[in-house]
Amino acid sequence: MNTTPPLPVNHHGDHPGFSGVMGAVCGVVFLAMGPKNARLVVDLAGLSERDHVVDIGCGPGSAVREAARRGARATGVDPSSMFLRIARAVTRKSANVTWVKGTAENVPVPSESATVLWSLATVHHWQDVTAGLQEAHRVLAPGGRLLAIERQTQPGATGYASHGWTRQQAESFAAQCRSTGFSDAVIESNDAGRRPVWVVRARRP
């Protein structure tokens, strides 16, 4: 019998962050890898020009730019100054895009100002999932949509292969959404183009 306790959804919450030369290298890599996930989350969210999206852990901003291309207003939030610098450098100036330094637990946007809040492969890095979900609930207007996407991993995976969620972790995050006051929390499996991902959707009542 396996007595190993299940990993929390933020099992890489102690990650030191991205800065300096390594941050710049990772930013360029994420820039190249980002468009497929960006198109996936924008399609899943069903964005329109009436939406204001807040992207938590936006990195170099692929999903923010895709949201703006679909006509939505978009705010990219990231704790890494390096990632935000890259995002600004590769983004055409637009009134529809804003970049701010922040974390899931401290989102520097007004309460009930967003219709969509998403996190692409970053919840497993949040330091405090409860605080992050409370902030998401605060930021979203009534009826607002929450989406979290994490690549599917296997129990016991280590190293880079562990950056994502097992089925149990996806279920745990959905349960935490419900306990924070979100409704209609569901888990889906989706193919982002390179490998399967978990998608957790919920709604602020």
Q: What is the pLDDT of residue 7?
A: 86
Q: Would you state the structure tokens that stand for residue 71, as one six-digit string?
A: 């006509």
Coil vs helix vs strand at 135: helix
Asked if residue 65 belongs to a domain, the reply is yes
Helix (H) or strand (E) holding 132, with range, is helix 129-139
- Whose structure tokens read 């562990």? 162
User: Please, how many CA atoms are within 13 Å of residue 115, restricted to the half-sphere of its CB?
Assistant: 13
Residue 18: per-residue pLDDT: 61
Any idea which residue has 């979100």 for tokens?
Answer: 182
| Number of domains observed in the structure of the chain | 1
Handedness of CA 173, 170, 144, 195 (dihedral sign): positive
Task: Report residue 112: phi and psi, to 5°.
Answer: 55, 35
Query: What dihedral do alpha carbons 162, 186, 184, 8 form, nearest 10°?
Result: -20
In a domain, 2, yes or no: no
Copy the structure tokens of residue 110.
């007004």
Q: Which structural domain, as residue segments, surrounds residue 147?
A: 20-204
- 9 domain residue, yes or no: no
- pLDDT for 1: 41
pLDDT for the residue 19:
52
Q: Is residue 7 situated within a structural domain?
A: no
- Residue 126 domain-assigned (yes or no): yes
Q: Is 154 part of a structural domain of the chain?
A: yes
Q: Sign of the C-alpha dihedral, residues 97, 114, 198, 25?
A: positive
Q: What whole-number percentage of the chain has pLDDT above 90? A: 71
The confidence score (pLDDT) of residue 189 equals 95
CA-based nearest residue to 124, from 162, 92, 90: 162
pLDDT of 21: 46
Within a domain: 181: yes
CATH number at residue 29: 3.40.50.150
Task: Render each residue's pLDDT in the chain as its tens digit; 205 residues.
Answer: 445 567 899 887 666 666 554 545 554 555 556 667 788 899 999 999 999 999 999 999 999 999 999 999 999 999 999 989 999 998 988 779 999 999 999 999 999 999 999 999 999 999 999 999 999 999 999 999 999 999 999 988 888 778 899 999 999 999 999 999 999 999 999 986 668 999 999 999 9
What residue ranges in 47-113 does DSSP mark as E strands? Answer: 52-56, 73-78, 97-101
* 14 belongs to a structural domain: no
